[in-house]
Amino acid sequence: MAMPTFHLAPDLPPVSRLCFGTMTMGEQTGVASSLRLLDAAFDAGVNFFDSAEMYPVPQRRETHGRSEEILGRWLRARRPPRDHVVVATKVAGPSGQMTWIRGGPTSLDSHNITAAIDDSLKRLGVDYIDLYQIHWPDRYVPMFGEIEYDPSCQYTSVPMEQQLEALGRAVDTGKIRYIGLSNETPYGLMKFLQLSKDFKLRSKLLTVQNSYNLLCRSFDSGLAECCHHERISLLAYSPMAMGILSGKYHSGESCPPDTRMNLFKGRYSEGESRYKLQSPKVKAAVKEYTQIAVKYGISPATLAIAYVLRHPLVASAVFGATKLWQLYEVLQATRVHLPEEIIVEINDVHARYPNPCP
């Protein structure tokens, strides 16, 4: 069965409904294993690959940029026709922690965006980036487990106009083809869309990459309406809630020591603040979703991915895999149809445990 695809833009190749996220490559996954995984995914029809300048995670000076480098190494070795693959990456937003990335980065101003694009092009070894995304906003927004907006947290941020001007120059010079947002809010998306018309970039703004999974359906509360009416596609990251929805952390058996939450315990604050393994609501929800998967004869991981793929606004689910068997389990989700009775049971669980990992 061929990999299903989605048309993001007329002059891009149809993208696979599964997008291989390279976030673990260069840290949790070594070079040789990463290259094998990329080969196997491409052989199965995956032609959409997502990275970021700050990857891999947990981020540290010694490994900065390694995920892009590994993806670039694979592109050179495998040599797929460039117009058959879609390469996406991201510029890091302001952070006081990653001092090795342009001093923080301190902001998402024109200088930082331009420098980040040039550095990513070098690491990837490509002439252009198909989809270039702002990893998170240069303004205060609740993120990574936060859900309530606090006006007192707002700080002086770089105007969106300056960011669009820098991105527009990169489009004009052929360094990037399309623009995406990530970890955005309804306000942020609509403001970018409004301003993009002034820079003649409206047709270039294609996607928003936000978390979406059985434990986090907050996209549906506000962003979904914006995306529907403005024809912006969702790239759903963390479709398995950092592996929690596989059931491996709550199976009652000893969890493998090489899982991300065990390997990097205490070192990955963004993940741990959102995906609270010891939360009673998380445990209860995962248990019930796992039971639904078992009842209908599919794996919990396949159920989780298949649920995301059925969303009408999802162009592609951005998944990760560190082992071949995990990749094959994810691929299986494109061959699964979830009947209405499964959706009814899923929605019942969601009604009782809504968004425990926002």
User: Catalytic positions, please?
Assistant: 55
Q: Distance (Å, rounded) from C-alpha 129 to C-alpha 134? A: 13
SS3 49: strand
CA atoms of 111 and 99, how far apart (whole Å): 16
| Count of CB atoms situated within 10 Å of the CB of 7 | 11
Q: In this structure, are residues 117 and 87 in contact, taking their beta carbons and an 8 Å threshold?
A: no
**Alpha carbons 322 and 335: distance in angstroms, whole number:** 21
CA distance 16 to 87: 12
CB burial of residue 186 (10 Å; 0-12, 13-18, 19+): middle
Instruction: Supply φ then ψ for residue 5, to 5 degrees.
Output: -130, 170
Positive or negative torsion for Cα 87, 312, 24, 32: negative
Query: Taking a C-beta distance cutoff of 8 angstroms, is the pair 301, 334 a contact?
Result: no
CA 173 to chain centroid, in Å, comes to: 26
